[in-house]
Amino acid sequence: MNRLIRTPDGRLVQLRPVRLYGVPQPRVVQSHPGTGAPMMRPRAAAPNAPSQPAPATTEETTRQAESQPIPSGQAYRVTSPPEHSLVTPPLAQQLSQILEQFAQANGFNTERPLDVAFGRGTLGLHRFRRAADIYAVGGKGLEQWAHEWNAAMRQATGAPNPQERARLVTAEKARNLGYKLYTTLQTHGGWAQPPGYPVQLFGPWTRSEGPHKAISDRLLQAHRDHIHVAK
């Protein structure tokens, strides 16, 4: 309730409450047991600033602990840094088996291993270590293998007769390690297919060999220089 007071000159005035803004609450001071020294009550910790990284979640920690690089085999050798092929153990094991069989089938061995290089991916199933990107095989980039394949197919298209055309196509299929690795991966199958998305095997030969032949120009352009596979 507001109160009325009389001023020294005889006037009646009404008292109004005064609010103080920004005045901090007093901190409780206690004596440290046994010493008598003052001990301040600790303040609550402030949340992480936008420039500070948030602590790793349990999911991220588990994901990192369960990933491993794809190892070299007897007939093939991984030439890229280990962190470029960090995947789940099941995918690492399957790709290792496929690469070993592929290398041996194409004449490579312990004395002359097949070089394979991976690249680091960041989107989609890469975030869960369920995907790998192969950028080079046999000492040559996938983009170069695809370029040579397209050149051979153009030459075959201009062949003077069907027999010569078939010979050129057969020769390129037997020679081109990029094409052969892609079709080998397609043969093994069992690759991931998230709901609403195509089978996760993409590369320069997707439009001609599948499994997702209706690949868009944008998606094909994004995989012109590597083979993407996920499990």
Report the pLDDT value the prediction gives residue 58, as an integer from 0 to 100. 45
Q: Which of 60, 147, 73 is nearest to 116 (CA)?
A: 73
For residue 102, the Cα-to-chain-centroid distance in whole angstroms is 25
- Strand ranges (E), the chain: 4-6, 12-14, 29-31, 38-40, 68-69, 76-78, 86-87, 114-119, 131-137, 140-141, 201-202, 227-230
Provide the sign of the torsion angle of the four alpha carbons 214, 207, 204, 96, taken in this order: positive
Residue 215 has pLDDT above 90, yes or no: no
Report the pLDDT value the prediction gives residue 110, as an integer from 0 to 100. 97
What average pLDDT score do residues 5-11 get?
A: 63
38 touches 32 (CB < 8 A): yes
Residue 13 has pLDDT above 50, yes or no: yes
pTM, two decimal places: 0.72
38-40 and 68-69: which strand pairing? unpaired
Q: Which of 198, 178, 225 is nearest to 124 (CA)?
A: 198
138 touches 102 (CB < 8 A): no
What average pLDDT score do residues 86-106 get?
A: 97
- The CA distance from 115 to 156, in Å, is 29
Domain locations in the chain as residue ranges: 59-141+180-230
pLDDT in tens, 33-57: 444 544 444 444 433 333 223 333 4
Highest mean pLDDT (candidates 6-15, 120-129, 175-184): 175-184
Report the pLDDT value the prediction gives residue 18, as an integer from 0 to 100. 53
Report the pLDDT value the prediction gives residue 16, as an integer from 0 to 100. 63
pLDDT in tens, 135-166: 999 999 999 999 999 999 999 999 999 999 99
Which CATH code for domain 59-141+180-230? 3.30.1380
